[in-house]
Amino acid sequence: MAISSSSSMQDMFKQRKYPFIFSLFLLLIFVTFLLISNSQKSPIFAAIDFAQRAALIKSVPEFNPNTITTSNSTNLHQSDENNNTSINRESLLNNVRIDPETSNVPLKINPELTDTAIRDELETFSYHWKLCPGPLAVDYIPCLDNWKAIKKIKSRRHMEHRERHCPVPSPRCLVPLPKGYKLPLPWPKSRDMIWYDNVPHPKLVEYKKDQNWVKKSGDYFVFPGGGTQFRDGVNHYIEFIEETFPTIQWGKSIRVLLDVGCGVASFGGYLLDKNVITMSFAPKDEHEAQIQFALERGIPATLSVIATKKLAFPDNVYDMIHCARCRVHWHADGGRPLMELNRILRPGGYFIWSATPVYKKDEGHKNVWKVMVNLTEAMCWKMVARTFFKRGRVGLVIYQKSDSSSCYENRKENIPPMCDQKKNRLNSSWYTPLDNCLLPLASSSYKWPAPWPQRLNTKPLSLSLETDAEETFNQDTRHWASLVSDVYLGSLAINWSSVRNVMDMNAGYGGLATALIDRSLWVMNVVPISGPDTLPIIFDRGLVGTYHDWCESFNTYPRTYDLLHSSFLFGNFSQRCDLVDVAVEMDRIVRPGGYILVQDTLQMIKQLGSILRSLHWSVTLYQHQFLVGKKDFWRPKDIARE
């Protein structure tokens, strides 16, 4: 056959049939072109959020996302060997976008082309998983339950034992389920009642029985809406605050609030009705499992403590901070705890202190009040209200932080001193000691964010003044709106009606949370410390979040989130930590029946999917870049050694 074909071709040349040969050559080129073009992805899927792509490269920590200029073409390159997307350093400095309003490329996934099974494409991963040991393993939080490190702490005077002490290496055991664990009750029912077996900690029922925190009723814990400072109900307390100081407009000028020492987070839970999103926090565990109760109820909350390190929030971001008998000695250690509140409170923002020194007249309480007055005056905080709530038998005081530097400049003594302005403060709160100084403010009055909900899509105050920054921000918002509506909500096997607690593991500008704002859920926007610092922008939009290093365990109880999301997050892990450890942490955080939604390179999805399958998750691949994993109730039988 080969000789015959060669002879025929020679005859064609001898007979000078050049037109036919030329036509055959063109046909071959055309067929080759069709084969190549059909193998390429739609260009819409090459649009990657700049902040999330920047997190892929560890070598550019100094990179400022607000100086990016917009590019209309991508610098992403396809690898023919593994169909993997690689990103070079130059492409990081371009904000790659396809504008959903002008693009002719449809964003929807074609169901007929969707991969319904990833099994045949995954790499083989085998590991002998074991349960975490010990009687407290069911609530194990690696960085807060590292007892070997905690026992070595020389002093606990400043609550050092409640701070993060992460084990090295990270444990690869799996937390067991509580006996009788059930799928959580849906929101809004969960605000008022949860399954007892999911958080089987009855001590608060007895310890706080006179304050209406929580009661046990059959198979449920019931939350009447009481608290230490609002025994007759939190709604009356919330209304009393607004009546005391009408300038406070819940859900308009006041949108983002921090509740210190929050109990079971009823204050934040009921403020949701007024369009106020509250980050409730308390340490683990002055009152047994209070933050676990809050998250099981579907209320935003995190584990943290004001001790020796800064809270994992940016400077000048909270509209209001609230403390109702939160057991923090604000004047201790030269006033550092209160200076930490000053750091994270927005200029012109409010601090509500509801506590006994506000109204009790015995010598001990009077001395605490006197110290508090001196400290707040030295910090240029103005007392705008002080009153007593007869119905709740509670006294409270409302302070307002200064919104300009004029007060600082006119102080008789520079105590507390001003912080060094030359010091770089981006991502500066992660494992950083508390300041004993005050942040400088602008010489002119600070501009407050737009009222909610306009605030969500208004140019953030923290956004760079660079020429293209606002357009980049707006394009990012449009990108996420299209991706969420056309892909996440419309094409993926996720039951969104069962999703309440969401975590965006690398949130960028908060585009995912913005696109989901009308759904009955909330998003914890996490900004990795190794990437651009976009967290102030997230707070400016009226959303909440925190800093984190995903090479360590997150400050939350097991089984507290319904969905974890990431977009091109895992590429920089190989040099810093192991993807297996990150997968174990994701398994710890997600509830049975919950999901992970990952957009990443095919190579990374194969690695992560293989690990998840070994954990008995169901995994589904869409368009070779979206991985949906669903956790079931499986737990191993063997127990790891202590």
260-310: per-residue pLDDT in tens?
988 889 999 999 999 999 999 999 875 578 999 999 999 999 999 999 999
DSSP-assigned letter for residue 486: I
Let me know how long the chain is: 642
What are the φ/ψ torsions at residue 562 (nearest 5 degrees)? -85, -25
Q: Which residue has better confidence, 325 or 553?
A: 553
Tens digit of each residue's pLDDT (9 = 90 or more) over 546-566: 999 999 999 999 999 999 999
pLDDT of residue 121: 63
Q: Which residue has better confidence, 330 or 49?
A: 330
Q: State yes or no: pLDDT of 90 exceeds 50.
A: no
The sheet that has 193-195: what strands, in order across it?
193-195, 220-222, 215-217
Q: State yes or no: pLDDT of 602 exceeds 80.
A: yes
Q: Bridge-partner residues for 195, per DSSP?
A: 220
Among the ranges given (43-47, 472-476, 590-594), the one the predictor scored with the smallest mean pLDDT: 43-47
Cβ contacts of 439-444, under 8 Å, gap ≥ 24 = 439/315, 439/316, 439/342, 439/343, 440/405, 440/408, 441/347, 441/402, 441/403, 441/404, 441/405, 441/408, 442/347, 442/404, 442/405, 443/404, 443/405, 443/406, 444/404
Q: What is the mean pLDDT of residues 568-573?
A: 86
Residue pair 572/612 in contact (Cβ under 8 Å)? The answer is: no
Q: Which residue has better confidence, 9 or 609?
A: 609
Helices (H) and strands (E) in the chain, counts: 18, 21
Angle at 455 between CA 450 and CA 459, to 5 degrees: 90
**Within 10 Å of residue 121's Cβ, how many Cβ atoms?**
14
Band the pLDDT of 186: cuts 50, 70, 90.
Answer: very high
pLDDT of residue 111: 40
What are the φ/ψ torsions at residue 81 (nearest 5 degrees)? -80, -40
Q: Residue 192's closest CA among 233, 246, 237?
A: 233
Question: Cα–Cα distance between 20 and 9 in angstroms, integer?
Answer: 11
Band the pLDDT of 101: cuts 50, 70, 90.
Answer: very low
Q: What is the mean pLDDT of residues 449-469?
A: 93
Give the number of C-alpha atoms closer than 13 A to the C-alpha of residue 503, restricted to the C-beta side. Answer: 27
Residue pair 295/301 in contact (Cβ under 8 Å)? The answer is: yes
Question: Cα–Cα distance between 302 and 316 in angstroms, integer?
Answer: 19
pLDDT of residue 59: 32
Q: State yes or no: pLDDT of 40 exceeds 90.
A: no
**β-pair type (561-567, 256-260):** unpaired
Residue pair 610/125 in contact (Cβ under 8 Å)? The answer is: yes
Residue 574: partners with Cβ closer than 8 Å, 6 or more residues away: none
Q: State yes or no: pLDDT of 482 exceeds 90.
A: yes
pLDDT of residue 27: 63
- Token pair listed for 281: 């926090």
Band the pLDDT of 353: cuts 50, 70, 90.
Answer: very high
Q: What is the mean pLDDT of residues 164-192?
A: 97
Helix-helix angle 18-38:2-14, to 10 degrees: 130
pLDDT of residue 80: 32
Q: What is the mean pLDDT of residues 80-104?
A: 30
Counting residues of the chain whose pLDDT is more than 90, the rounded percentage is 65
Q: What is the mean pLDDT of residues 51-69?
A: 34
- Token pair listed for 101: 């309003």
Q: State yes or no: pLDDT of 352 exceeds 60.
A: yes
**β-pair type (545-548, 522-528):** parallel
CATH number of 228-410: 3.40.50.150
Decide: residue 83, CB within 10 A, 0-12 exposed, 13-18 middle, 19+ buried: middle
pLDDT of residue 70: 29
- Token pair listed for 89: 């350093």
pLDDT of residue 262: 82
Q: Which residue has better confidence, 157 or 89?
A: 157
Q: Bridge-partner residues for 475, per DSSP?
A: none
Q: Which residue has better confidence, 332 or 10?
A: 332
Residue pair 184/198 in contact (Cβ under 8 Å)? The answer is: yes
H or E element in which residue 547 lies? strand 545-548
Q: In 140-157, which positions are buried (b, 16+ CB within 10 angstroms) versus exposed (e)?
A: bbbbbbbeeeeeeeeeee
Residue pair 227/355 in contact (Cβ under 8 Å)? The answer is: no
Q: State yes or no: pLDDT of 432 exceeds 80.
A: yes
Average pLDDT, the chain: 83
Residue pair 228/252 in contact (Cβ under 8 Å)? The answer is: no
pLDDT of residue 304: 96
Q: Which residue has the tokens 């932080």?
A: 401
Q: State yes or no: pLDDT of 10 exceeds 70.
A: no
Tens digit of each residue's pLDDT (9 = 90 or more) over 106-147: 333 444 334 445 555 666 788 999 999 998 999 999 999 999
Q: State yes or no: pLDDT of 328 exceeds 60.
A: yes
Residue pair 140/175 in contact (Cβ under 8 Å)? The answer is: yes
pLDDT of residue 89: 26
Angle at 58 between CA 53 and CA 62, to 5 degrees: 90
Q: Residue 503's closest CA among 470, 526, 533?
A: 526
pLDDT of residue 336: 97
- Token pair listed for 231: 């025994």
Question: Cα–Cα distance between 534 and 526 in angstroms, integer?
Answer: 10
pLDDT of residue 464: 86
**β-pair type (77-78, 382-389):** unpaired
Q: Residue 517's closest CA among 548, 538, 490, 546?
A: 538
Tens digit of each residue's pLDDT (9 = 90 or more) over 613-628: 999 999 999 998 999 9
Question: Cα–Cα distance between 264 and 282 in angstroms, integer?
Answer: 9
Q: Which residue has better confidence, 115 or 580?
A: 580
Q: Which residue has better confidence, 320 or 326?
A: 320
Residue 591: partners with Cβ closer than 8 Å, 6 or more residues away: 183, 184, 559, 560, 561, 562, 631
Among the ranges given (11-25, 489-503, 514-528), the one the predictor scored with the smallest mean pLDDT: 11-25
Question: Cα–Cα distance between 261 and 162 in angstroms, integer?
Answer: 13
pLDDT of residue 429: 92
